[in-house]
Amino acid sequence: MNSTAKRSEPIAIRLLSLIIILALVLGVGLATGLVLRHIVQTGPLWIVVALGATRSRSTGWIGLPLFVFWLMLMVLIWLYLFGIVHVISGQFMPIEVVMTIIVGVASLGGILMFARFPSVLSAAKAGSFFVAMALLQCACFRISFFPAVVRR
């Protein structure tokens, strides 16, 4: 693998993270009046954006659990909308449905981008990053439903 390809991975993962943030905060957040909720939910993605800007070799491992989380959530929403699974419920405006497609495609793109490049981190370090970021994403998602966040 040439050095240009290695340097482009963090930038591409950064861009995909920004797409998810914009879709959720500006797309869904503005449409629903829940901007703060979506800022909290996307907080961990900002870490990926910052690391991608510095072309950090850990960007992929930091981003992977976030992309998996958002793709799984979008799939659950689509399954709900098709009446297949009812883990998630609610009413989704057309703009929200469009944003689920954008978030899902960007998440899948991030996973595929990660898979294209071999890891330069040790298994222990990579696993630690993955678990820590997965837990952080789950915590931020949960916190985003607290009344103090929703009412603002």
The domain spans of the chain are 3-150
Could you report the per-residue pLDDT of 81-129, keeping only the tens digit for each? 999 999 998 899 999 999 999 999 999 999 999 988 777 889 999 999 9
Q: Which residues of 56-73 are buried (b: 16+ CB within 10 A; e: fewer)?
A: bbbbbbbbbbbbbbbbeb
Helix 3-22 vs helix 94-116: crossing angle, to nearest 10: 160
Using one digit for the tens of pLDDT, what is the confidence trace for 29-78?
999 999 999 999 999 999 999 999 998 888 999 999 999 999 999 999 99
DSSP readout, 55-70?
A: T-TTHHHHHHHHHHHH
Confidence grade of residue 6 (pLDDT, cut at 50, 70, 90): low
- 59 CB-near residues (< 8 Å, 6+ apart): 9, 10, 13, 14, 48, 51, 52
What is the number of residues in the chain?
Answer: 152
